[in-house]
Amino acid sequence: MARGLARQEQAYKDHLAACDGPRRGDLDGRGNLSEKALATFAEFFLQTCIDQVEFMAGLMQPERLRDRIMIWAEEEMRAGALPPKSDIVLKAVLYQGKLERGDVDIMLGMSPRSTRRITSALLEAGALTSQSSRAPLLLAFPAKFAGRWMPGLFPDV
């Protein structure tokens, strides 16, 4: 919102000042201040919100986020930074929102020790997070992946 309001600073200040103005006749609310000015400010603010959501969606391309994360996982597995089948665990978390740790063994058809190695690697890489060693696995958005997972959102340093 700060970006959107800063781009329309004078209009923002004018709307705010108008909200502090007195009523404009008997049909302008019940209090001392103008209800119409408040409604106009609310409309301005909501339009600015919509504009900023559209701007951010254009930068992030959320419909492609899943693809970018999966490409990252495949590249990390090829480079040996993640164990094989890490992409399957990551994909399950992406589609389900969270993944119970016990479900990883069943899903991969591997021993608990092998699945712990995979989940540990994803946690250590920062792609997944969990509140405890028994809590479900959740997708993490570490700053180190921001430029890769959400290009355009952050400037290249």
70 closest CA partner among 91, 98, 92, 99 = 91
Please give the pLDDT value at position 63: 82
CA gap 36, 29 in Å, rounded: 7
Domain contains 155 = no
Contacts of residues 141-145 at CB distance under 8 Å and 24 or more positions apart, as own/partner, are 145/72
Alpha-carbon span 148 to 69, nearest angstrom:
8
pTM given for the model: 0.68
Which pLDDT score, from 0 to 100, does residue 157 have? 54
The pLDDT value given to residue 62: 78
pLDDT at 141: 86
The tens place of each residue's pLDDT in the chain, 157 residues long, gives 999 999 999 999 999 888 888 777 777 767 777 888 889 999 999 999 999 999 888 877 878 889 999 999 999 999 999 999 999 999 999 999 999 998 999 999 999 999 999 999 999 999 999 999 899 999 998 888 888 888 877 666 5
In a domain, 157, yes or no: no
Question: Looking at the domain assignment, is residue 125 inside a domain?
Answer: yes
Residues 71 and 117 in one domain: yes
pLDDT at 34: 83
Q: Which of 42, 60, 78 is the last residue of a domain?
A: 60
Verify that 76 and 140 share a domain, yes or no.
Answer: yes
Choose the final residue of a domain: 60, 76, 107: 60
Whole-number pLDDT of residue 29: 65
Whole domain around residue 101: which residue ranges? Answer: 63-149
**Total domain count for the chain?**
2
In a domain, 80, yes or no: yes
- Contact partners, residue 88, CB within 8 Å, separation at least 6: 107, 108
pLDDT of residue 155: 63
For residue 87, count CB atoms less than 10 angstroms from its CB and return exposed for 0-12, middle for 13-18, buried for 19 or more.
buried
HSE (side-chain half, CA atoms, 13 Å) at 133: 2
Residue 68 sits in the same domain as residue 145? yes
